[in-house]
Amino acid sequence: MFNFNGITHLIDNGNGTIGAVGSVPAGMMTKRRPTISDVMGGRTRDGWAYVRRAFASVDEALTVARESGATLCQARNCACREVFS
C-alpha cells in the first residue's frame, strides 16, 4: 500500500482529460454501485464504490479539488506540477 501523506496529484490522462491520483477525496470521485470485485478488493465505503473521475480541464479539476478539501501537491520537482502550475 502506498502512503501519499494526504497529497493529491493531478495528472494528464493522455486523452485530453485530467485525473487525480494519490490521496483523492471522495468528493473528487464518482460513486457507483459496487461490483463483487470492488467488495473483494476493499474499494467500498458506505455501500458505494468510489472510482476515478476524469475532468474536462485543469480549471475544473482544481475547482473540484479545492471544494473537496484536497491538499494538492506543492513539490516543485513532481511531474504533476507540469499539469497545473
Task: Tell me the residue range of the domain where 72 lies.
Answer: 7-84
Residue pLDDT, tens place only, 6-49: 899 999 999 999 999 999 998 999 999 999 999 998 888 899 99
Give the residue ranges of DSSP H helices in the chain: 36-40, 58-68, 81-84
The answer to the question of residue 52 being in a domain is yes
Q: How confident is the model at residue 3 (pLDDT cuts 50, 70, 90)?
A: low
| pLDDT confidence of residue 65 | 95
Q: Looking at the 3D structure of the chain, how many domains does it have? A: 1
| pLDDT score recorded for residue 4 | 76
- Band of the pLDDT at 82, cuts 50, 70, 90? confident
Residue 1 resides in a domain = no
